[in-house]
């Protein structure tokens, strides 16, 4: 195995892992604070991709502006979903929220088909983003480098927010004990909305990056990657942000390794492999890598 | 009168927990709320801080001539008005550091003196300085109690609601906590203290209320209640024969 080949696989794993990590963090954050497995989260990725399509390709804004706009939009959308779909049934049994999230997911996908058509659209980023660079024998596009760097910056920013700011600490306090958080004067609904906003922003950013890599977008594109990001969150230990990032990169590397090592004929089984890996890890570590013992809240 | 509750009727789910509870707390007092498990003490505190809402009755807070209807205020505004609730079972944020817990106690404060007050808490409870960056969940029960009290004080409350601070603590730790409660009162914070440990509570309280099955059954100055036969029999574990001269 040549050094260039190895570096190539590492880069591929980093790119795929970045995407999973961005989406998994949102899953984990939302679960952590409202104990909700939000299946509509993957569809925020899709909306992010379509928003990027409009902003970047139709209006031709520069990349940094598109990133900011798409993230803002994702944040607003996720808060809106929380407000309309989840907030009215706060305190209801967990399964209600789960079913609601499936409903929201199907609604968003079908609205997408209705309003934007189910036909895949080409998503061609400006040429400079698609140009190839040679890096010690490995080939990497500018977009892939941008994906890795932007993801790391965003995750760093998220960590600083959650660890160091008043609102970030309040979010963690609420996730741990909503009643005690209320006694501090923290508005629980606002803390929850913050988690949705952050998760939505990251998912929409992932949509932009994913669409650029895939070269096409369609209304159902969020579903399977969303499921895999959920797997990443579970592997990391749902509720743990570091775990979600770890799970995301682990899944990215595992998938790349699988595709790279096995004969090409098996490449189409990569999703089966991903879910098999999930089952294996959960058999050994029922709470994921960094998850605490499952506590159900009454 | 700092706090007055009138005829509170509170339900929790299908059970009627408080039946016409009335009580008053004067500025500068320590008022003890005594009674057996399930008498409604915690429910009373939760109603004052707004986590539970009564079906009937009134709850008012008077501050500097202003009267606030607590039943109309959201929890965060009750905290902002100066009521801090140190809940049953401590409920510190175990996954947050000691310092982060203190910061959350001051969540609503916008003045520039939060850091100064944190320093003050570390003077009052030196363990909080020692473990400042450690996780609150790794403190011992007594240390968590101190953190919970300090966290509540970080909001600079006028009225501190303390729910069973002695629960599960070693006797000398309980003594230390009660000394601190007196000090808190002496610094100008009024205290409403819920306790099962009636004897100790009556030592520091100015007045007390005794609750039984969701009703106030007895009230008066702490000294008088400490000598009351009914209370002794029911809660102080003293049999009539022993107290008979």
The model's pLDDT over A125-180, given as tens digits with 9 standing for 90+, comes to 887 888 888 878 888 899 999 999 999 999 999 999 999 999 999 999 999 999 99
Residue B98 sits at the chain A interface (C-beta within 8 Å): no
Token reading at A284: 């050994």
How confident is the model over B58-81, as pLDDT tens digits?
999 998 888 999 999 999 999 999
What is the bridge-based pairing of β-strands B15-25 and B190-195?
unpaired
Q: Which of A183, A242, A243, A295 to mutate to test the interface with B (most CBs of B within 10 A)?
A: A183
Q: What is the pLDDT of residues A191-231, one digit of tens each?
A: 999 999 999 999 999 999 999 988 899 999 999 888 899 98
Say yes or no: A182 contacts chain B, CB-CB below 8 A: yes
- Would you state the pLDDT for residue A6? 84
In terms of CA atoms, which chain A residue is nearest residue B82?
A: A185
Helix (H, G, I), strand (E, B) or coil at B5: strand
**What residue segments make up the domains of chain B, in order of their start?**
3-90+155-238
Of residues B55, B61, B53, the one with CA closest to residue B78: B61
Report which of residues A62 and B147 the model is more confident about: B147
Q: How many CB pairs under 8 A join A and B?
A: 60
pLDDT tens digits along B127-167: 999 999 999 999 999 999 999 999 999 999 999 999 999 98
Average per-residue pLDDT for chain A: 89
Which tens digit of pLDDT belongs to each residue from A222-261?
A: 998 888 999 899 889 888 899 999 999 999 998 888 888 7
Is A170 in the B-facing interface, judged by CB distances under 8 Å? yes
User: How many helical (H) and strand (E) elements, i.e. helices and strands, does chain A have?
Assistant: 12, 4
What is the rounded CA–CA span in Å between residue A170 and residue A154? 20
Q: Report whether B136 contacts B92 (CB < 8 A).
A: yes
Nearest CA in chain B to A181: B104
Report the gap between the CA of B88 and the closest CA in chain A (Å).
10
Dig out the tokens for B62 from the structure: 């008077």
Count each helix (H run) and each strand (E run) in chain B, helices first: 11, 10
B240 vs chain A: nearest CA distance in angstroms? 42
Q: Which of A29, A167, A168, A184 to mutate to test the interface with B (most CBs of B within 10 A)?
A: A184
Q: CA of B51 to nearest chain A CA: how many angstroms apart?
A: 8
CATH 3.40.50.300 matches B3-90+155-238: yes
Instruction: Tell me the chain A residues in contact with residue B103 when contact means C-beta distances shorter than 8 Å.
Output: 166, 169
- Per-residue confidence (pLDDT) for residue A154, from 0 to 100: 95
CA distances from B205 to B49, B185, B201 (A): 21, 10, 6
Provide, as residue numbers in chain B, all residues whose Cβ is less than 8 Å from the Cβ of A180.
87, 91-93
* A240 Cβ contact list (under 8 Å, min separation 6): A28, A32, A288, A290, A291, A292
* DSSP type of residue A113: H
Out of B80, B87, B95, the one facing A176 most closely (by C-beta) is B95
Q: Which of A190, A184, A215 is nearest to A82 (CA)?
A: A190
Predicted-complex ipTM score: 0.91
pLDDT tens-digit series, residues A77-93: 999 999 999 999 988 88
A172 lies within 8 A of chain B by CB:
yes
Instruction: Among A172, A182, A187, select the one facing B51 at the smallest CB separation.
Output: A182
Q: Has residue A281 got a pLDDT over 90? A: no
| CB within 8 Å of B130: residues ≥ 6 apart | none
């Amino acid at each position: 195995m040549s050094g260039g080949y190895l570096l190539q696989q590492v880069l591929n794993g980093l790119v795929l892992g970045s995407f999973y990590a961005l989406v998994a963090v949102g899953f984990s954050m939302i679960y952590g604070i409202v104990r909700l497995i939000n299946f509509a989260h993957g569809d925020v990725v899709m909306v992010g991709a379509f928003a990027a399509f409009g902003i970047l390709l139709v209006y031709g804004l520069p990349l940094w502006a598109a990133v900011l706009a798409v993230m803002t939009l994702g944040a607003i959308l996720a808060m809106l979903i929380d407000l309309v779909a989840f907030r009215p049934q706060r305190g209801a049994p967990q399964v209600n929220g789960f079913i609601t999230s499936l409903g929201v997911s199907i609604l968003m996908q079908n609205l997408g088909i209705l309003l934007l058509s189910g036909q895949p659209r080409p998503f061609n980023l400006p040429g400079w983003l698609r140009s190839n660079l040679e890096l010690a024998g490995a080939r990497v596009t500018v977009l892939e480098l941008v994906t890795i760097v932007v993801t790391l910056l965003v995750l760093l920013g998220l960590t600083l927010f959650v660890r160091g700011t008043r609102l970030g600490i309040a979010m963690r306090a609420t996730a741990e004990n909503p009643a005690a958080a209320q006694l501090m004067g923290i508005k629980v609904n606002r803390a929850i909305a913050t988690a949705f906003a952050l998760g939505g922003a990251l998912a929409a950013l992932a949509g932009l990056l994913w669409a650029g890599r895939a070269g096409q977008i369609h209304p159902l594109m969020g579903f399977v990657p969303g499921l895999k990001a959920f797997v990443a969150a579970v592997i990391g230990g749902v509720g743990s942000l570091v775990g979600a990032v770890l799970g995301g990169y682990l899944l990215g590397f595992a998938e790349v390794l699988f595709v790279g090592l096995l004969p090409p004929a098996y490449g189409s089984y990569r999703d089966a492999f991903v879910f098999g890996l999930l089952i294996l890890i959960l058999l050994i570590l029922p709470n994921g890598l960094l998850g605490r013992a499952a506590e159900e809240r009454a | 009168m700092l706090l007055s509750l009138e005829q509170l009727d509170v339900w929790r789910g299908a059970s009627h927990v408080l039946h016409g509870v009335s009580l008053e707390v004067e500025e500068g007092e320590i008022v003890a709320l005594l009674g057996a498990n399930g008498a409604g003490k915690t429910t009373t505190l939760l109603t004052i801080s707004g986590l539970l809402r009564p079906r009937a009755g009134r709850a008012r807070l008077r501050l500097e001539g202003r009267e606030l209807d607590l039943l109309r205020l959201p929890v965060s505004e009750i905290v902002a008005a100066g009521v801090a609730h140190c809940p049953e079972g401590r409920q510190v944020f175990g996954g947050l550091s000691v310092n982060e817990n203190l910061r959350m106690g001051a969540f609503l404060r916008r003045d520039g003196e939060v850091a100064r007050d944190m320093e003050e808490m570390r003077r009052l409870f030196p363990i909080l300085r020692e473990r400042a960056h450690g996780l609150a969940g790794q403190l011992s029960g007594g240390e968590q109690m101190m953190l919970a009290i300090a966290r509540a004080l970080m909001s600079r409350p006028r009225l501190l609601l303390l729910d069973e601070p002695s629960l599960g603590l070693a006797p000398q730790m309980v003594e230390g906590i009660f000394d601190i409660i007196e000090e808190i009162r002496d610094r100008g914070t009024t205290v409403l203290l819920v306790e099962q440990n009636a004897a100790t509570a009556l030592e520091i309280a100015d007045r007390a209320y005794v609750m039984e099955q969701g009703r106030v059954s007895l009230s008066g100055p702490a000294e008088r209640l400490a000598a009351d036969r009914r209370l002794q029999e029911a809660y102080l574990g003293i049999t009539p024969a022993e107290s008979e001269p």
